[in-house]
Structure 1
Amino acid sequence: MVTIYDIAKQTGLSPTTISKVLNNYHDVSEKTKGRVLQAAKEMGYLPNSSARTLTTKRSWTLGILFMESTGMGIRHPFFNAVIESFKSEAESRGYDLMFISKDIGGKETSYLEHCRYRSVDGVIVILLDPRNPDMQELLDSDIPCVLLDCESTKAGTVYSDNLNGGYQAIQYLYSLGHRKIAHISGGSYYFAGQKRQLGYELALQRLKLNKRPDYIIEGGNYTMESGYEAMLELLALEDPPTAVFAAGDNLAIGALKALKEKGLRVPDDMSIIGFDDIELASHVTPAMTTIRQDTRLLGTKAAEILIESIESVRATVNIVLPVELVIRESCKEL
């Protein structure tokens, strides 16, 4: 097995310098770091995790805490993509990942207890439930946390500009001549859903369109089934909309299915716009116009600020990432 002493002999540097580079100390020049890392790679060096933990006083493990009520978990294409980019960035910085639950060996514990038990260095929390006392206990602890798709004063946060995304969706439909625009919402439970609906309502106000309570249907848990049921409710109205903004692409795809079953065509009979730009959105017929979130950047930034808070001064960093309107085939000018 290759040791730091072998690398020291190969490079002509001291074992102390080799150790500093491999443990990511900052008092070594970039030139020396590159030289050591290249030699380590060529020689097939693999660090001993126990030795590294003793040296750095860290476990080099990040926790992923997924809180959501849909039961879909990381199978949801949006969060799956975000976690993949988070994983990529974390692993490039030398960290392993672990999912955090409230169960250790069949015994229920708190999230904080599980994090302590596994000695994680930090945690990314996805879909925070602010009402959960176990979650608040974790946020009040000394374990660095980053929250995805949420606002907080207790931890770093990373989320897309959901409000502006909702606003852009309505502005685009308005530019096509639509004045009767409905919204299948993401529900009051989720931060992103709240902001997207707020963007919808703000756009209506600024464009001087009436806000109709019967045009806002609770989509709840962002599933295709929820979108399907919500669209049936809208179609049952005496005065149905000409366009629908869905708070998620799964909701929009479910709505599309309901319209097809009723013999209606998209976009000829109704226009639909989604949110997220999951992979399936470009493959349905017609291809879905949507508001794109940058899943790669969301995951990468979450990993960056979490690791920064672990390796240097812990600070609360809040990052809002821009969104983008992606025009495909599901919306039509009146």
Structure 2
Amino acid sequence: MVTIKDIADRTHVSASTVSRVLNNDETISVLDETRERILQAARELGYKTILERRILQKKKASKKEMVSVGIVLCQNVEEELSDPYFLSIRQGVEAELSSHGIKTTMFRLRETDADQHVEGLDGLIVIGRLKESALKGARDLENVVYINHSPDDDLYDSVAIDFEKATEKVLKHFLDAGYKTIGYIGGRERLHLKNESITYEDKRHTTFERVMKEKGMYKEEWVYIDEFTMAHGYELMKKAILSGDLPEAFFVASDPMAIGALRALQEASLQVPEDVAVISFDDIEMARYASTPLSTIRVHTNEMGRIGVKLLLERLNGRKLPLKVTLPTELVIRESCRKA
């Protein structure tokens, strides 16, 4: 920190003279040239008087007290509880906002009038897929961060993962481990509007299809799609078993779906991974305690939420350039598939 002595050394005057000039002591007799030299040195060195520092602290405290951030949840309560992926992101957002003492307003897009909440907010964090038109008030709100989706990388900050790369990791492991027939169980990605949601491309599904076609190993009848729930994972695996043409490995697009699928395999007296191998996606806590501990793609969901808040705070502090942060994923191998 710059001191009065630093300024005195630069201007070649006494420290007491510097102190009296900087504190506007009207009783001091000093040449205008000397006064200006002292003030110029203080500006160049970034010196702040005690009074200036107090004013600055009060401004910062006042600004911090005024910050109000809205959290938009694109999932209803049932969806969030059935798939902890988004719950973990929200918990990361809330923890980081709380650590900064920031006031928050949380609302679920399909359960309240979003526009009323957007008005008067300093910033907005959107968790999930959301079209811009769903938040009219956000058009004039520069400080918006999207997590797990971005409608426009040129306008908004976002935090995401690379679903294509993660899916490629899964398929590479299966192929390196010697699996020749591989199926897919997944859900429907939703793009949310104010009063409805529409099905959206799921990169896990499209990447699975692309890679398997490139390898000449794709069979449409080995692909099963419904909703991202444990119950649907169970029903889809039962359907695959009853088809009589069961692949020797499955990529399942979420851990809850995979846990349901494991139950269906167990009921059919099929062993994992001896009869059917499974790799899933998310690495929620339940994955390691499943009936057969799940190999899965680990997504750092809590950190996604925390980074989203940090991006928003940077925006509030003046950054204009929008940033997109893509977090890495990792393949965690447990008992549900063979090691490569």
TM-score under structure 2 length normalisation: 0.75
- Residue type of the alignment partner of 2:57: V
Secondary structure of 2:322's aligned partner: coil
Larger Rg: 2
CA drift of 1:333 comes to 6.4
1:8 corresponding residue in structure 2: none
CA drift of 1:144 comes to 1.7
Q: Aligned match of 1:112 in 115, 125, 128?
A: 115
1:149 corresponding residue in structure 2: 148
Secondary structure of 2:312's aligned partner: helix
User: 2: distance between equivalents of 1:271 and 1:73?
Assistant: 27
1:159 corresponding residue in structure 2: 160
Any unmatched runs of 5+ in structure 2?
1-48, 192-198
2:233–2:257 CA contact under 8 A, matched in 1: yes
Secondary structure of 1:250's aligned partner: helix
1:199 aligns with 2:244: no
CA drift of 1:211 comes to 1.7
Q: How does 1:180-329 map to 2 (within 5 A)?
A: 180-189=181-190, 194-206=202-214, 208-220=215-227, 222-329=228-335
Describe the superposition over 1:130-149 as per-residue Cα deviations: whole angstroms up to 9, x where unpaired.
3x7423x2442225211111
Q: Do the aligned partners of residues 101 and 85 (structure 1) sit closer, same or farther apart at CA in structure 2, a change above 3 Å counting? A: closer
User: 1: distance between equivalents of 2:122 and 2:293?
Assistant: 42
Identity %: 26
1:18 aligns with 2:25: no
2:130–2:151 CA contact under 8 A, matched in 1: no
Secondary structure of 2:118's aligned partner: helix
User: 2: distance between equivalents of 1:192 and 1:332?
Assistant: 32
CA drift of 1:22 comes to 5.8
2:102 corresponding residue in structure 1: 95
Secondary structure of 1:189's aligned partner: strand
- Residue type of the alignment partner of 2:239: E
2:15 corresponding residue in structure 1: none
CA drift of 1:262 comes to 1.4
User: 1: distance between equivalents of 2:184 and 2:108?
Assistant: 34
Secondary structure of 2:66's aligned partner: coil
1:163–1:196 CA contact under 8 A, matched in 2: yes
CA drift of 1:260 comes to 0.8
Secondary structure of 1:71's aligned partner: helix
Describe the superposition over 1:5-30 as per-residue Cα deviations: whole angstroms up to 9, x where unpaired.
xxxxxxxx735413423654xxxxxx
- Residue type of the alignment partner of 1:14: I
1:180–1:243 CA contact under 8 A, matched in 2: yes
Describe the superposition over 1:88-125 as per-residue Cα deviations: whole angstroms up to 9, x where unpaired.
32233331322024699xxx63x232221xx2211111
Describe the superposition over 1:168-224 as per-residue Cα deviations: whole angstroms up to 9, x where unpaired.
111111111112111112324369971111331233134x1322111111132x210
Q: CA RMSD in A?
A: 2.8
Describe the superposition over 1:126-166 as per-residue Cα deviations: whole angstroms up to 9, x where unpaired.
11233x7423x244222521111113214211111111111
Secondary structure of 2:258's aligned partner: helix
The worse-fitting range, judged by mean Cα deviation, of 251-260 and 307-316 is 307-316
Q: Do the aligned partners of residues 75 and 305 (structure 1) sit closer, same or farther apart at CA in structure 2, a change above 3 Å counting? A: farther
1:158–1:318 CA contact under 8 A, matched in 2: yes
Q: How does 1:71-82 map to 2 (within 5 A)?
A: 71-73=78-80, 76-82=83-89
1:276–1:291 CA contact under 8 A, matched in 2: yes
CA drift of 1:82 comes to 1.9
TM-score under structure 1 length normalisation: 0.76
CA drift of 1:291 comes to 0.4
1:61–1:97 CA contact under 8 A, matched in 2: yes
Paired residues in the alignment total: 284
Secondary structure of 1:280's aligned partner: helix
